[in-house]
Structure 1
Amino acid sequence: MLSLKKIAIPMLTLLLVVSAIGLTNAAPSTQAIETLNIGFMQAPSSTGDFGVRLAIDQINREGGIVGPDGALYRLQVVYPNRPPFAPDGVPDAVTSLVAQKAIAIIGPVDNRLAFPNLEVLAQAEVPVLTLATTDALTELDPSDNIMRIRAADRFYNEGLATVLIDERAITSFALIQTDVDSTEALLGFEGILVNRSLTPTVKIQEIDNSNLQADAERILQGAPAAVVMWGPPEDAETLLLRLRENGFTGLFVYRDAQEAVRSGAIPISLARGMMGATSWSYTTPTELGRAFLVDYVTSFNSIPTGVEAAAYDAVWILRRQIEQTGGDITKLREGLLQTPTIYAVQGRLEPSTYGGGDFSRAVTVYTMGDLGGPQLVARFANNVRLGDDDLVATDVRVVGLAGTLTYTPSPSPTPTLTPIPSATPSEVTLTVPQESVNLRAGPGTEYEIVGQLQLGDTATVIGSNADFTWLVINHEGQTVWVAADIVDVFDPGNLLSQLPIVQPGTNNPGIEPGQLSEGIDLTIEGVVLSPPQISPGQPFTVQVTVRNLGVNAAGSFSVSAILQPGNLTITAGSTGLGAGQSAIVTLNGTVDGTGSYTSSITVDATNAVLESNENNNVFPLTYVSDRPILSRIDFVQIPVGTAFDFAGGTADMIWTGTQIEGQNNARFGIVYAGAFEAVDYNAIDPSVVINFILPGSNIGTGSLIGFITAEGRRGVMRVDSLVGTALTVSYRVYSN
């Protein structure tokens, strides 16, 4: 998980939602702090997630939310147990978020997931603040449970048409779509042309990109002044390239041009002059937008999209309503629909005026500049072109603004702030987002293809290469590799970095008969430990992939290892292996004790097989044996003067701004293990972790602090940053 680093912007000291109870009206100091869960429909780190997390982080850093009765709330994002990658996954995702007591759901992000699930979203038990844009979402929801935070498709079409027809006097258009999801958008734009007494010179509706060459020829024959396209960015790149190669000099309009260029789907050299439209662009010079941009970039080292801005706005809109209604879901839903005119990152939002669950009708039209950045052309709100005076917020009801607000709780008595983590996830999974992906024998396209996964297939990730560009999975009894950049990876617990680094044991990828060695040559290609972190007293397996690099078949052989702690010897055998063939040999074992170790796996340790090469039989295995984790929290800020509970319900510490003070017999001490992940249960020695007060001299960025909670559980905390009195930590607590 990425750290959300806060920067101060002294000039921006506006109140957040000053139309409601301000932060200065702090809750009574005896009031407990309640955590409210906000559900994000899709996977962590997917589009929109960073906007949600940034807003929640800022709200919590500034002291949380004071409800109408003085109750103090903090927010926490939760995710579905299985994020949806296809429309049929949305119902289970909604059920999962409701089960986690989310008071509202943000998402789905796109039309592909949202529209087929209109009824599911409309009947959800909590308000759904969607980032999808299809017109029908709110129009066909009589309950108004679906609230659209970005402008609907028809407003992007109208904004583009205003610029193209009314301002640039373009009258000849070619319209093309290469996917089913864009049908409504294309027909909507065509309707706008008809209303202006125009007819497309060419209209092409495809369900895929199989006819792009013929489509390009039809468009060129029609000689339009502008081509307006909907579909995947790769299709836009292919079509535009073919048009340019054949002399097309007109305007190419692709609504998602900015995102396509940023992702690399369309090269900058080809995108110059391309026109697009979005709900918000990072080049929009509003005060709120600039503040959001700076905070986002410094937090995540990336540039936010319109989706991120809308997700950020959604959280701040929820914050405003929680101030007025608290966490009651019925009152929250009713209050959201009555939200007055507000200013947000996207601009002026008027949900009570628009009605029907529409919060935003803000559209920005842009062209792609010579260096690849979007150049603002026009801004619209509810189909009205905005002047430059709209770039400055004049309404006092500001939804979200990063700045230098402060919140200082009364020092005594102290409420208890308890992060409520989801259960620690047990595995990293991948899902195939395209028609098919190849599985290979090693981490590179030079290795042979040994299988395929199809659209929607999922698999558990059991390892990776050193730079995480290739992932290891089990497929039909084989250990295989898949490129990380062509699949969607779900890593809710930051477990990917803890999985084994698997190295292929041969420099001969894709072995063919002509490449084989003389005689018999057994080698280990890869080793996978399952589970990746073993626990004392719990069984585990070691899957060893053995290949025969020789031209002769090998007879029976064994694979063995000596594992620590305890010098545990585990062995398994194979009945034989043909020339050039590979097989998985599975070792089983159980260890006692904890620690980080490196051991050797050896094929044919007894030298039962006469080999032409005896120097490639050993493979190193690095692993951790540790007690089970009860909870893990990454990058949480510890409020000054507020009692903090690691896990279990009883306060464990107070951060005074200068030192850590243990509460309820909780104790602390510095541990020396080099790295946070290297600290194991036994390293948190009760004879060392004895301090009820840990002075500031022991607390600094990178410090590793062992602790024993009020309930007697061991844990370890890493100081992620300490700036002034702002202390941000990551920690984990063991279950026993």
Structure 2
Amino acid sequence: MNLTIKRWITFLVLVAFLLPIGVWIAPTYGQQTITLPIGYLGSANESLARGLRLAIDEINAAGGVESSDGTIYNFDIEFAEVDPDNPDSVADALDSLPRVLAIFGPTDEALIEANISVLSSASAPVFLPTSRQDFNEQDANNNIFRIVAPEITHIQSLANYLVFELALSDIVLLQTPTDEPSNQFANFNTALNNFDTPPTQTLQVVDDVQLANAAVSIANLNPEAVIAVGEPESAIATLQLLREGGWDGLFVYPDIDMMLSFAQQEDFEFAPELLEGIIGTSSWSFSTPTTVGRTFVANFVAEFGTAPTALSVAGYDTMYALSILVRDGEINPTALKAGLAQLRLPNLVGGPISPALYGNRILSQTVYIVSLTGKGGTETLAIYDNGVQRAGISSGGPVAGGSSGGSSTSPSATPTLRPTATSAPPTATPSFLVATVNSNVAALNVRTGPGTIYAEQAKLRPGDQVTVVGRNQDYSWLFIQYDGQTGWVSAQFVTIFDPGGLYAILPIVPAPATPTPSPTPQPVEPDLIITNVTISPSNPQPSSPITATVTIKNQGLSNAGPFAVATSFRPGEVYTAQNVAGLPAGQTITVTLTNTVVQTGYVPDLAIIVDLNNQVAEGTAGESNNIFTVAYKVDRPVVVEATATLVGTQSIDFYGGTTDLTWDGSSFNMNSGALIGQLTGVDYLTSHYDQVASAATATSFANPQPAQIFAIITAEGNRGILRVDNRNGATIVITYRIYQ
């Protein structure tokens, strides 16, 4: 499947609700194609522009959008002929965009602040990626729309998370020295007081001397958390003083994007480890937990060869929202603004776009609570939509039901399947690939390109998991997403988890220009490597033989003498080895290792070792490539595996003829001695028989959620695994398997 086809499919998934669409010019009748220009104030390489471009490419690749009279509409970006690189050039840049449907940018808040009246008078609605609250208040013509949540929403969501999710009550609020005072300090103070958790202490300092004294005072007070507002350099300097003083509490810096930008500067003088654990907010996080978010990331990386940002998502989502309005007939700037006032779209990549609900020309009220990893990336902790924490953040994106009219549906934080009597049961197969660094690798280099000639940019540890979003031509190197960044890793040192079969259709990501390599002399020693391992049977069972068929090659220039090949089958560490008399240079041999394990379990990284006892002198390079890992699962045979939809109050017999479970619309209730218990830290594919007995001890479970995994014991005593695939109110979809 080529990339164009994949994007076309993505478009259909994202805009299944795009029914016949409207027009921007005077309505015409009959089949024709018209391109609607979207104006942009800035560079094509900006993150906002790239998100906009990706959405337009997907819409156009799917054939555009069709109006009720049959007219097809495509979109294109029209960049201002004048570069808006200073406050005086913005007006001229706008004049070069006289016939556009909408205008995006500029992204520089200094340019926006100096040109509010100019942007307010533009010929088309202007979409700005700014959280500044005062910009809309100065918009005399109601022409400016904000596409990210206002600052006050970020503050209230973060305060909510600290007080209610983390249950913190001892919080110090600190204003660090700054040349540009803001309302953040006062707004945080108000938000915490509104949640009946006033700050234990509030401190406002104006210079570095006061800051040092404040750090000593805070360390002595030893609060649970410190919220620091001000410039990122002053905030991180404060944290360093606090850590040196022995304080180990939670450090909060509200604008996580600003902190990341500061940390990525060349003159950043603080230890990267100091960043780890800082909590703040963003309009979107690269570590998005939603399936549609991961799809967006993969498509964005494949198109531009770089990672998206929160502004990329804002542009992408807003473009899809505009296409909905075009569908409904808002085909000129005036009609578009009127339609925006009534727009309510439940879930896009970042979250809902619902200016009809939010008012004041605000398109988004979604806030991501994130934590810095210390490696330049973020981890998503929670998502708030219009002040309400999103439950079950396993899905998102445009769904059927979006509307620009008064009969629209309300935003839903967790869209779920609505099964019908004729619909096929859903699957929970992930739509992304996960690579796990093999346990036998001391450290895996992440490089700037697909090859060892490219520079190292980071190291991954054994067991680290990353998302795979691309590959090189022969799959020997994988393009990954990790800690808010992208890079390349050698495929031989990771284990791929690919239940969805997506590995074969990974997009090829172009490699950057290669540095001139230094000539490397070919080693003259033997060099034994394992080129492949096959586990048979493919689904091994306990107390039955398991065989690893190992293919070994001597890729060196000298013959190899005697050596041993070995592994310890798991679970149980059952040691198995074979001796090999030798292997000539350039030749290949197959060795089988067979034994029996008695336990069940998922093994992500069984290590097979060639030249176990270092009998062959392979040189430095040869000694470093003697281990190969493979994944498999040992499990009991399954007697039944099925998917079921339970509506309202409904019972089910998993196997054996006796009713095992009753769903009452909100809870699982076990019958006739059957038992249930939640399994954590596993998924449906890796869970196994031996996990069931210790977990399935309850007779009911309240409020199950999508993606949760349960151990079950039937009324007849059979063990099993159950997964919640989807839930919509009193309707729940489950998949289960029952063991012999």
Q: TM-score, normalised by structure 1?
A: 0.48
Tell me which of the two structures has the higher relative contact order, counting C-alpha pairs closer than 8 angstroms and 6 or more residues apart.
Answer: 1
TM-score by structure 2 length? 0.47
